[in-house]
Structure 1
């Protein structure tokens, strides 16, 4: 059994089409088919059902997928371990970050890139759920998200920052001069909020429910800059973490209550190899 055969199998499983898989791997279809057939012969069980030009995973193929994925990852981690011996002269970091951390993370990213210019960094912004799903699929070295209740044994949690939840309103709004605002007052206001896939709105749905409050949600928008444009009209307000508020035409009013703070954490896979470059980025993040 060879690593390339496992890679071919996983690509065929992903696309469920030998022609497309071969094209993606930059090999001929006959080579792909031959290698997968050799793998099946060695395992003594078919991994795919072949129905004309279509293919589907067999039950054995579905079970084998997890182990093939683990083998590829372990081999990649061994390669990364060797590359780290080059004193951070090469390498790549892939990070998932929630939208509300984009401002603070950008500052850290600039620091890191200046200190380690040879390390390539890929940053993906998304919702907490999407980022965690991709982390569990080994697509990220780590994610930077809100998380109050660490409970997954296969994940490593590192708290780095506490963020206050605020009502975001226009600077010209009559509310702008308030030092704090109660949750009851917030519930009565016309609100434009992020989609339910965002961790912040899920957090507030629970908080409103606990207080038996029905918020006046007029709009749901999956883009923070657009939310700011709506808020700046003075007719609507939104709820975000204070780390998100960086527009000079809006202000963030802290919402009263002990549970109006959220914890931002670095979350990674506990058993995955931790690159030296990732550790250096952790150090900068802890200094936020």
Structure 2
């Protein structure tokens, strides 16, 4: 059993398609098929059902997949431990982030790059739920979000700065100059909101239900940048963290005056995996940059 075979198997399982997996791995489909067949022969079981041009995991494949993930991650961690031992400033850093923390990332990344110019940095944006799954699998080394609590003890959470859930509107909107706004004042506005998988939407829904307020939700979108673009058209308002306003100078963030609408931006690490030196350095840089985002 070879490490590359496990990597091929994982990507094919994720995409459920040999052709797509081969393209992403920069190998031919025949090479991918041969390597997976050799892996199946070694294990003595079929990992995939071949259904014409489609594939799906067998029961054995589903059982084997988490072990494949674990083996590949352990091998990667082992290499990183040795790199750190001899102080090699190389490797890969996979950073997961919600869109609302883009501005903080843009502040921190040039400083990190100057310290670790040979480290390849991958930025993966997603909702809190999506990033938690990636953090658990080890496909991201850390995640930036507004998640503050952890019940299972598998996450280490560090606070970065305080943000406010706010009404986001175009500068030409009659409410654009408000210093604060009440929840009841936004119920008549035409809103485009984040989809249910976003933690800020879950927070908003909870408070709205408790207050007995009915919002005029015209659209739900699972991409924060798209919501900001919609608000920029002047046809919709949205509700996001004020830190989300990155790259949209014509939009305004009006804090919603509710005690529970303050949230702490955080960086999360999995307690299951080795923390490489580059990640520790990035965490320190991020915390230094976050000081600029705290209210004066």
TM-score, normalized by the shorter chain, greater than 0.5: yes
User: Counterpart in 1 of 2:270?
Assistant: 269
Map residues 186-205 of structure 1 onto 2, 5 A cutoff: 186-205=186-205
CA shift digits 1:105-142 (9 cap, x unpaired): 11111221122212111111122122222222221011
Q: Distance in 2 between matches of 1:8 and 1:225?
A: 33
CA shift digits 1:196-255 (9 cap, x unpaired): 333222221111111111111123344444434443455532211111124332221111
Q: Distance in 1 between matches of 2:249 and 2:49?
A: 60
Q: Distance in 2 between matches of 1:223 and 1:52?
A: 34
Residues 242 and 252 of structure 1 are in contact (CA less than 8 Å); yes or no, is this contact kept in structure 2? yes
Alignment counterpart, residue 39 of structure 1, candidates 19, 43, 48:
43
Between 1:274-283 and 1:236-245, the stretch displaced more is 236-245
Q: Distance in 2 between matches of 1:90 and 1:222?
A: 34
User: Counterpart in 2 of 1:80?
Assistant: 80
Q: Distance in 1 between matches of 2:149 and 2:204?
A: 15
CA RMSD in angstroms, aligned pairs only: 2.9
User: Counterpart in 2 of 1:97?
Assistant: 97
Map residues 180-219 of structure 1 onto 2, 5 A cutoff: 180-219=180-219
Q: Distance in 2 between matches of 1:203 and 1:211?
A: 12
Which stretches in structure 2 are left out of the alignment for 5+ residues?
291-296
CA shift digits 1:121-172 (9 cap, x unpaired): 1111122122222222221011111113322322222222221111122222
Q: Distance in 2 between matches of 1:195 and 1:169?
A: 18
Give the TM-score of the pair, scaled to structure 1.
Answer: 0.84
Between 1:153-162 and 1:13-22, the stretch displaced more is 13-22
Residues 8 and 36 of structure 1 are in contact (CA less than 8 Å); yes or no, is this contact kept in structure 2? no
Q: 1:173: Cα distance to partner? A: 2.4
Q: 1:57: Cα distance to partner? A: 4.3
Larger radius of gyration: 1
Give the TM-score of the pair, scaled to structure 2.
Answer: 0.82
User: Counterpart in 2 of 1:139?
Assistant: 139
User: Counterpart in 1 of 2:255?
Assistant: 254
Residues 157 and 266 of structure 1 are in contact (CA less than 8 Å); yes or no, is this contact kept in structure 2? yes
Q: 1:10: Cα distance to partner? A: 4.0
User: Counterpart in 2 of 1:111?
Assistant: 111
Q: Distance in 2 between matches of 1:201 and 1:173?
A: 23
CA shift digits 1:68-120 (9 cap, x unpaired): 32222212211111112342431110111101111121111122112221211
User: Counterpart in 1 of 2:236?
Assistant: 236
Residues 46 and 60 of structure 2 are in contact (CA less than 8 Å); yes or no, is this contact kept in structure 1? yes
Which stretches in structure 1 are left out of the alignment for 5+ residues?
41-45
Residues 40 and 47 of structure 2 are in contact (CA less than 8 Å); yes or no, is this contact kept in structure 1? no
Matched, 1:285 2:286: yes
Q: Distance in 2 between matches of 1:125 and 1:232?
A: 21
How has the CA–CA distance of structure 1 residues 19 and 210 changed in structure 2, closer, same or farther, with 3 Å as cutoff? closer
Report how many aligned residue pairs link the two structures.
283
Residues 18 and 33 of structure 1 are in contact (CA less than 8 Å); yes or no, is this contact kept in structure 2? no
Matched, 1:64 2:68: no
Q: Distance in 2 between matches of 1:241 and 1:39?
A: 49
Between 1:8-17 and 1:93-102, the stretch displaced more is 8-17
Q: Distance in 1 between matches of 2:195 and 2:32?
A: 44
